[in-house]
Amino acid sequence: MKEINFDGLVGPSHNYAGLSFGNVASTTHAGSTSHPRTAALQGVEKMRFMMRMGLRQGILLPHERPDTDFLRQCGFTGSPAEIHAKAWQENPALFRAAFSASPMWTANAGTVSPAPDTSDGRCHVSVANLSSNLHRSLEAPQTLRQLRTLFAHPGHFKVHEALPGALKDEGAANFMRLCSHHAAPGLEILVHGAQGSGGFPARQSHAASEAIARRHGLDPARTFLVQQSDVAIQAGAFHNDVVAVANETVLLTHELAFERPDTLYDFIHEHLPEANIIIVPQSEVSLQDAIASYLFNAQLVTLPDGGMMLVVPAECRANKAVSTWLDRELAGNGPIRRIEVMDLRESMHNGGGPACLRLRVALSEAAEQALDSRFLPDEHGLDALARLITTWWPERIAPTDLGNPDLWKDCHAARLALLEHLDLKAALA
């Protein structure tokens, strides 16, 4: 059984509109000039590196932007160009939401329970409703269509529609799985928040996490719902994957990630005695440093030789406290044998690191063979994607460019070129 990481290809409309309240990086860089071409190529290079490490890699694709259907639902009429122009003129905030490239962060595409954990022995995927933010709440219909294309075989997969919006669900960014190895039954840990006294909202509801566990047919004895600490949320940890990451037997977590963390640690040790819980103390790496560097929004993966690798953004090396802790506590000691640094600056400035960019799916060989291969490029396929991005993706988008009709046309044409290249136009256009 292998784990496949499906990375979101950064879309041509990648811009810094600062739409995500509670995401410090997003709001800090609001109004900056973005570089969609560079952003997408940085993502391709991360995928290429993971492939060269012997890991299986897939892609998920940008959504149609501007989202004309959404703007039409908001009462704008006419041709797509007329709808976009009216929306930009009459309600720029709605238009910015319709133009967001946020589907690039596929950790929020849905929650995935591998077949060994479910009652019917199929891999279950629940599309996230992302109802906490308007721009992200638009994603579910196109995400559902894409995931049902990728995971189409009913004998191996069950793709569920998004939960009702009142049950706030943010997908795998608030989910962790621990196991002795990927093919073994796992412990599924679903993390929710509760609104505290601060100003930043909790984005994942307890009710949504319960519903995901029920619809996926999880074993209650091996499922744990834990509350993210309000301290972490108010510091800017809008999702659990900003303060904790897990892989097989390892949980790497900040000391202040959870309310009542000992209950979680006791559950893990009871059901997985070989688990290694690595706690980063607040006294050595503050929540502020962890969030600014995205230390925990890293990819923790098992290499073909059995050792683990932690892929962190370059900001971790720029932060003295984080870099010092990594060198002292991880490199060459314990289960995490290798640390790799990736330049994902464009995504980071909008609030998403290596973990945000990927949806991880553990699959048997038979289930892997049942995937739609158009979402599984090899290195030559990545080369072709890079050429297509260089040709079609805008080089830069300044805030004032969002109202430019030529940019809207260019983004539509770029995505259409991608779908035609992958022979997915009929399925996803």
| pLDDT for the residue numbered 197 | 64
CA separation for the pair 311, 202 (Å, rounded): 27
Q: How confident is the model at residue 306 (pLDDT cuts 50, 70, 90)?
A: confident
Instruction: Tell me the CA distances in angstroms from 350 to 20, 31, 111, 333, 409, one per residue in order.
Output: 9, 11, 22, 33, 23
CA separation for the pair 10, 41 (Å, rounded): 8
| pLDDT for the residue numbered 26 | 60
Spatial contact of 322 and 285, defined as CB atoms under 8 Å apart: yes
Catalytic residues: 170, 239, 356
**Short-list 256, 278, 225, 245, CA closest to 178:** 245
Q: How confident is the model at residue 17 (pLDDT cuts 50, 70, 90)?
A: confident
Average pLDDT (31-58) is 95
pLDDT of 198 over the 80 cut: no
Spatial contact of 122 and 218, defined as CB atoms under 8 Å apart: no
Determine what percent of the chain is predicted with pLDDT higher than 90.
Answer: 88
Query: Average pLDDT, whole number, for the chain?
Result: 94
Spatial contact of 30 and 80, defined as CB atoms under 8 Å apart: no
Q: How confident is the model at residue 196 (pLDDT cuts 50, 70, 90)?
A: low
Can you identify the CATH homologous superfamily of domain 2-65+100-428? Succinylarginine dihydrolase (3.75.10.20)
Q: Look at residue 368 and give its three-state secondary structure.
A: helix
